[in-house]
């Protein structure tokens, strides 16, 4: 993972940079927002930006938007709720208080990192699956990974890269579902200066940033059908055209694509190009859902329990035998991601060093059952968006304004959460403000 730090390193921000470096994260530095945009255009791949509140965050984000850059900005500043709220209103995705707390930064990096490459398993079904993965990892063939949401498609993609001949080269990911259609093309191929209004400099896209390495196209089925033709050409010709460019740029990348949809069905309905599907589907891997690998549930539960106990500065939380039994009986429609969020919540709410079965509330089926006298019955007659809004606000209240923590518990991206909160605020809904510990997982 690589991040960009914007602002003077002579004070508390410099201490934060040292903590980030100690966590094994690569960093670049820019003194100003203008310099930051130039570095992003040159390098093309940052997981996010740490920016001092002394800098003009609103101006930085406007510069990025004008260049069609979609990198999350995390504000850093004093433990001041009003200052944090202002930074969020300017477009920052989160706020880290200074002086920096190593545990808070560690928790943020753990939550934000998408470079996990450990694929834990002891289940025979997954052992067989991983044996196939080991065989294909060393090749340069394109890989299409399918599976239900939350099964670990991105983690597997990183694992394949680490096991490949390209392991020492960049691993670059693009979530096709997380960006507006207007940004995806520029993110993929980059652009030349003057390619569109606001393009003040040349921008390197994800293809070039991943040169000699691996490019992950996450949720490829969400890509607009018109852009799929340009992607197909780039893969076939091994060259890309920057927006506004006059000559092609050669690239050498291995493509891994993921989807939680049935792509053959998407091809039949015209939602996905058949020629692109065949080009991506040289090697096909379908990750089994968690309910089909029961033996992995106790292993993963312990791993997440140990992990989130450490992140939250707590003593290790053990799972009782009754709790493990309850976990194994549940169907896990959200798969490993749902299990991770459930364990994370249990670690936090458990008042003892042992997590018992009462820390997990599941229905007998995928649709929660409601007792006649249950307070949930009060939702009957309400719209789904009203229920979602109440659930999100309640979760944010539970996390005391911690956006990163809330997004993790909800199983959504911090960007998706911020967009929801912005929408609620515009409609007059009272949104819990970020507090001084909002970036931590306390």
Least confident of 193-207, 313-327, 329-343: 193-207
CA angle 305, 441, 18 (to 5 degrees): 105
- Kindly report the average pLDDT of the chain as a whole number: 83
Place of tokens 């309905």: 269
pLDDT at 220: 92
pLDDT digits (tens, 9 = 90+) for 101-117: 776 776 666 555 544 55
pLDDT above 90 (res 297): yes
pLDDT digits (tens, 9 = 90+) for 151-168: 989 889 999 998 999 988
User: What domains can be seen in the chain, in order of their start residue?
Assistant: 2-112 (3.40.50.2300), 124-290 (3.40.50.300), 294-369 (1.10.8.60)
Least confident of 7-16, 39-48, 224-233, 363-372: 363-372
pLDDT digits (tens, 9 = 90+) for 228-250: 999 999 999 999 988 888 889 99
User: In 3D, which of 178, 183, 187, 256 has the Cα closest to residue 222?
Assistant: 178
Q: Which residue has the higher pLDDT, 386 or 309?
A: 309
pLDDT digits (tens, 9 = 90+) for 256-275: 999 988 899 999 999 999 99
367 pLDDT tier (thresholds 50, 70, 90): very low
Do the beta carbons of residue 90 and residue 57 sit within 8 Å? yes
CA angle 204, 208, 212 (to 5 degrees): 155
pLDDT above 70 (res 135): yes
pLDDT above 50 (res 150): yes
408 pLDDT tier (thresholds 50, 70, 90): low
What count of Cα atoms within 13 Å lies in the side-chain half-sphere of residue 415? 12
pLDDT digits (tens, 9 = 90+) for 322-340: 999 999 999 898 899 889 8
Helix H or strand E encompassing 78: strand 73-78
Percent of the chain, pLDDT > 70? 87
Q: Give bridge partners of residue 95 from the DSSP assignment.
A: 75
pLDDT at 192: 85
pLDDT above 80 (res 369): no
0.75 exceeded by pTM: no
Strand intervals (E) in 202-302 = 214-218, 239-240, 249-250, 254-259, 283-286
User: In 3D, which of 8, 57, 2 has the Cα closest to residue 30?
Assistant: 8
pLDDT digits (tens, 9 = 90+) for 417-428: 877 888 887 777
pLDDT at 215: 95
């Amino acid at each position: 993972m690589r991040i960009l730090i914007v602002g003077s390193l002579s004070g508390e921000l410099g201490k934060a940079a040292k903590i980030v470096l100690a966590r094994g994260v690569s960093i670049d530095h820019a003194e100003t927002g203008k310099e930051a945009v130039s570095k992003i255009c040159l390098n093309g791949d940052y997981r996010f930006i740490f920016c001092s509140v002394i800098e003009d965050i609103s101006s930085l984000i406007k510069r990025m938007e004008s260049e069609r850059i979609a990198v999350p900005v995390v504000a850093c500043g004093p433990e001041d709720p009003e200052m944090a709220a202002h930074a969020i209103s300017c477009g920052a995705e989160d706020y880290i208080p200074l002086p920096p707390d190593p545990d808070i930064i560690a928790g943020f990096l753990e939550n934000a990192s998408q470079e996990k490459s450990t694929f834990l398993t002891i289940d025979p079904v997954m052992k067989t699956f991983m044996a196939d993965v080991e065989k294909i990892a060393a090749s340069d063939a394109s890989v299409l990974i399918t599976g239900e949401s939350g099964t670990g498609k991105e983690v597997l993609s990183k694992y394949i890269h680490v096991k490949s001949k390209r392991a020492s080269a960049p691993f670059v990911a693009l979530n096709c579902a997380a960006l507006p259609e207007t940004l995806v093309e520029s993110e993929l191929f980059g652009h030349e200066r003057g390619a569109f209004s606001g393009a003040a400099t040349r921008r390197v896209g994800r293809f070039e940033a991943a040169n000699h390495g691996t490019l992950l196209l996450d949720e490829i089925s969400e890509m607009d059908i018109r852009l799929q033709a340009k992607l197909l050409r780039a893969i076939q010709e091994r060259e890309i055209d920057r927006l506004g460019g006059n000559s092609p740029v050669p690239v050498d990348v291995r493509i891994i694509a993921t989807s939680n949809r049935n792509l053959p069905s998407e091809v039949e309905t015209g939602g996905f190009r058949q020629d692109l599907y065949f080009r991506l589907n040289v090697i096909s891997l379908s990750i089994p859902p968690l309910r089909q690998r029961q033996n992995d549930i106790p292993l993963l539960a312990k791993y997440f329990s140990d992990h989130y106990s450490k992140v939250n500065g707590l003593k290790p939380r053990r799972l009782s035998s009754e709790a493990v039994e309850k976990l194994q009986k549940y169907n896990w429609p959200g798969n490993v991601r749902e299990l991770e969020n459930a364990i994370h919540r249990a670690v936090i709410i458990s008042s003892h060093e042992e997590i018992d079965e009462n820390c997990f509330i599941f229905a007998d089926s995928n649709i929660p059952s409601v007792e006649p006298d249950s307070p949930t019955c009060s939702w009957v007659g309400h719209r789904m968006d009203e229920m979602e809004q109440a659930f999100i606000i309640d979760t944010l209240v539970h996390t005391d304004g911690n956006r990163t923590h809330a997004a993790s518990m909800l199983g959504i991206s911090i960007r998706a959460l911020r967009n929801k909160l912005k929408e609620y605020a515009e409609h007059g809904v009272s949104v819990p403000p970020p507090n001084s510990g909002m970036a931590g997982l306390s």
